[in-house]
Structure formats: structure tokens, C-alpha cells
Amino acid sequence: MSSSIQLVVGLGNPGRIYRDTPHNIGFEVLDLLAARQNLRFKRGFGLRSWVSTWHREPSPVRLLKPRTFMNRSGEAVARAVRKWKLSPENVLIVYDDLELPLGRLRLRKRGSAGGHNGITSVIRGLEDSQEFPRLRIGVGPRPPGEELIRYVLSPWKDEVQKQVEESRNRAADAVTFVLEGDFEAAMNQFN
């Protein structure tokens, strides 16, 4: 069975200062997917995003990284959905989740924002629909006493780099698995 996913969106913040931070793991997973397929991201005309097209059978899949900041990701997602005439069910959102331990993945067909401002923005951008699939990538737990914003926007500590790399790779594998077939099977394999 082929996937109905036509757009994969990685959430993050634009700019070098945010590279290799917990909040940008969605961008990094899309970068890895693109590298595996020898794809390049280009500025998407009118989309406020970087876009790459992965030519797959039976139909291409677009990879999208919003150039808006995390809290305004929904603006870019809404533009892409309108331009390519997609339904929320055709959009897979890949993003960080502080409530999951580092290395854990959670694929879901739908759900609430769970306190994630980027997902809140996506829900608003999709006219209050929560009916889009998502891949949550664990980046927690936050060290005791560390501010939330400081933690998610600070570079990964050296001692977790190997685990972060493994998590990115596993998340990229999960996206590929979803695109190749049954979402339920992907959930069983990666959750």
C-alpha cells in the first residue's frame, strides 16, 4: 500500500545560531533525508520555506523547511498546502518533543499540540485541523533547573552527540518507511 503523504515538513528555526540544537532536529532530519537522495533545498517561491522535491513513484514527495521561526511555522505550512492543494492528512510534520527521552520516536496519525508552539501554529495554519500525521522526536529530558528556552535553543552537549546522530538517522528511516507504505506498520516498527 502506498503512502498518502505528499509533503514532509521539518520544524526548526532558520539561521546558523540554531543549528545542532534540540529545537532544530526536524530540520536536521529533512537535511539527512535530502542528503540520502542527493537532493538540494531551494527557496520556495512564495512559500517562506526551503523546498526539495523527492521524485518517487507513484508521485513526488516535497520536503519543506519553513523559513519562518518555529512559532510561525503554520504560515509556511498553510501556503504549501494551498499551493499544492493538499489535505492535512497528506502532510507529515517532523519535530522535537521535550516530553520524550532522547532517542525515542512517536509516530501518530493525529493529535493535539501538546504544548509545542510550532505545532500550535501548524494547527492554526491548517484551519484548526489536528488531522495531520506527525513524527515526534524525543529531545528530553531537560536538565534540572535549566530554562526551557535555553535548553531547546542551545547546542547539544558533546556527551549526547552520538545519541543525537542515531536519533536523526532513525527518524529519517521512519519517514522513509512511512513513505513506502503502511502508517500502522511504521508505528509498530518505530514507536
- pTM, 2 dp: 0.97
55 is a catalytic site residue:
no
Q: From CA 181, how far away is CA 126, in angstroms rounded?
A: 24
CB atoms within 10 A of CB 32: 18
The partner residues of 107 in beta bridges, in order of sequence, read: 135
Q: From CA 79, how far away is CA 9, in angstroms rounded?
A: 12
Residue 101 DSSP symbol: E
Domain boundaries, the chain: 7-190
CA-based R_g, the chain, Å: 15
- 46-95 pLDDT, tens per residue? 999 999 999 988 889 999 999 999 999 999 999 999 999 999 999 999 99
Q: Position 29: which residue type?
A: V
- 126-185 pLDDT, tens per residue? 999 999 999 999 999 999 999 999 999 999 999 999 999 999 999 999 999 999 888 999
Residue 115 grid cell: 504544548
* DSSP-based three-state secondary structure for 10: strand
Instruction: Name the CATH superfamily, with its identifier, for domain 7-190.
Output: Peptidyl-tRNA hydrolase (3.40.50.1470)
Does residue 168 contact residue 28 with C-beta atoms inside 8 Å? yes
Query: Which residue out of 6, 10, 18, 23 is catalytically annotated?
Result: 23
